[in-house]
Amino acid sequence: MNPKILVKKIKRYKEGKGEIEDLNDSEYEYEDEYDVMDEELDDLTPLLTSFLKKRGEDLLNTVVSKVCSEETHQALKTIQKILRQFSDHGVVDVFSMHSTKDILLSTLALSRLQHCYIYTNKHYTTAEKESIPESIFSSISSWVDSHNGDGYDDIENEINGGTPLPRAAIDKDLLSDIAHYAVFANAAYGWKGGLALTGKVHIGDLNSLLTKTGIDEKDVIAAQWHSKTHRPAFFLVRDLQRKKLVLSIRGTLSARDILTDLCCTADDFCTDDGASDDEEDDSAESVNGAAEGLVNAAAEALQNKFRHKNKAYRAHHGMLESARGVAKMTRKFIASELAAHPDFSVVIVGHSLGGGTAAVLGAMWQDTFPGLAVYAYGCPCVGPLNASPTTNNAIISIVGEGDPFSCLSLGHLADISVAVSQLCRHQKLRDEILKRSGGRVEDMREEDLFYCYDAMEALRKHMNKEKFFPPGRILYMGGALFGDSKKVTLKEVSADFFRDLKLHPRMLDLSRHAPIRYESALQKLWLEMERDEEVTS
């Protein structure tokens, strides 16, 4: 083939004006619209590479659209778009800009700065930090560009952010609820999850649910044990003892769930859940014939009474789509049950992705089902600061110490990449930080400690990308979460506590995210409170 004709064909194909095989050579030999200069033939590599990349993406999209569901296809397209536009989210490609050695040294320096910053906030007052001599920071201020912050600069919290709640001061009813419903959240993983997490075998998902929660089979309203893309597994049951309808949403367990996790950009939404009254979805298995596709007049009246007010919110795309999916499969069941049991209220629970989806769904339904509560265990970052569900106090997030997903979002990754890149570019500053912070932070000279504190303050002015945070009221759980060496602690912290992705050797320790960790620690804390009350009474 004439090289000029090949280039013309590629140009037309990239503009969507035909397939390569469909273009007749003779038609393009004399066409001027796509004329090719001789210089373009000197190196066809860039043009061919670009062509093959687009051709490959088109072929992949064609194959995926034919073999996958529409939801999976859309999820893959969303992930593909995120990867293409990584830099648009503020992520710096440090690996193409700096050497591996510089990246490793800068990451180490940043980790030490974070440690010094946390220690200084914990042990020094604001006045003491503000009284540091300006001369100490002359070498730092010289490389920091003037930059307006994004509202996160006034963080003076300790690493343990917030005030520890004495055990006797913890709301007993709240602690009872979060310990009780942690069992329901974990039961959503079914028999496979039970086997993986506890080593116990229960034959069948339903049997596993009944055994773990103590619920009677007649009180299981609906269940879907197999997830699809943006359609997580869940179950809906009656908790007669506490007069609650419990909707438990499963966390990540399948490849389809991972696709939902990776759809991690932010979307605006309204409290309308998209579950049309006329729309039917038979993907949820109705148990015992409960609300078998029928919504009686009382349920209709309940739905109409609490129509949505269309408030604006913002959340993780994948969790938002999952919340809409669960809403379509369960809203009629719940409305019918509440009509039959007007003294009941709704509790939505979940662990990990299930907790995030529960939080978004709770924000959608806050006007639909008054009195609704959400308990999210090991909840990941769901949405930005100053937007619901992050600001919704009907949502309780329980986050364990060291859980790697409590401060992980595109914005967190972008901030880390920016800070590492800055330290790669300013090697003298980085070397000074490493020299001053070589020992234990407790043994550092005050001058060195304050130097590192100010360096971190300077970096934070550049770390201003939109980040997601755990939603609602956040209870931070620490102490002996696996052993018995000391008591489990529980304290309420602000969302700002999760502003920074902290670099340390165990930052990706997935055992700290395990659902059984939350269940056992909360059960232990509840038993300790009851024991303490018996001693004092």
Residues 106 and 220 both lie in one domain: no
Asked whether residue 240 falls in the same domain as residue 339, the answer is yes
Q: What is the structure's pLDDT at 422?
A: 94
Q: Is residue 488 part of a domain?
A: no
Does residue 438 contact residue 105 with C-beta atoms inside 8 Å?
A: no
SS3 letters across 521-533 = HHHHHHHHHHHHH
**Domain housing 131:** 96-161+411-466
- Token pair, residue 484, equals 């018995």
DSSP collapsed to 3 states, 102-131: HHHHHHHHHHHHHHHHHHHHHHCCHHHHHC
Q: Supply the Cα-derived Rg of the chain in whole angstroms.
A: 27
Residues 222 and 354 in one domain: yes
Two tokens, residue 513: 């995210």
Among the candidates 311, 334, 367, a domain finishes at: 367
What confidence score (pLDDT) does residue 162 get?
46
The Cα–Cα gap between 495 and 498 comes to 6
Number of helices (H) and strands (E) in the chain: give both, helices first.
19, 13
Q: What per-residue confidence (pLDDT) applies to 152? A: 32
CA atoms of 341 and 507, how far apart (whole Å): 46
**Whole-angstrom distance, CA of residue 366 vs CA of residue 391:** 13
Same domain, 247 and 308: yes
Query: Cα dist. 24→6, 47, 231, 521 in Å?
Result: 11, 20, 47, 71
Domain-located, residue 297: yes
Any domain includes 203: yes
Select from 17, 51, 67 the last residue of a domain. 67
β-partners of residue 350 are 249, 376
User: Does 85 reside within a domain?
Assistant: no
Euclidean distance between CA atoms 235 and 350, whole angstroms: 11
Residues 211 and 328 in one domain: yes
Considering the domain architecture, whether residues 333 and 203 belong to the same structural domain is answered as yes
Q: Residue 21 domain-assigned?
A: yes
Measure the CA angle with vertex 195, ends 190 and 199; round to 5°: 145
Residues 33 and 116 in one domain: no
Q: What is the mean pLDDT of each run of 10 residues along the chain (537 residues)?
A: 58 58 50 48 54 55 54 59 67 89 94 93 75 52 42 34 48 93 94 59 78 93 86 94 96 72 76 58 56 48 47 82 93 95 96 95 92 96 89 93 89 92 94 92 92 93 91 86 65 91 83 88 86 74
Of 17, 52, 67, which residue constitutes the final position of a domain? 67
Residue 224 and residue 134 share a domain: no
Structural domain includes residue 503: no
- Whether 212 and 151 map to the same domain: the answer is no
Same domain flag for 63 and 107: no
**Residue 26 within a domain:** yes
* Same structural domain, 208 and 62: no
Which residue bears the tokens 């924000």? 363
To 10 degrees, the CA torsion angle through 477, 482, 485, 490?
10
Which residues are paired to 477 by β-bridges?
400, 490
Number of domains in the chain: 3
Which pLDDT value is given to residue 308? 43
Q: Based on the fold, state whether residues 422 and 274 are members of the same structural domain.
A: no
Quick check: is 86 in a domain?
no
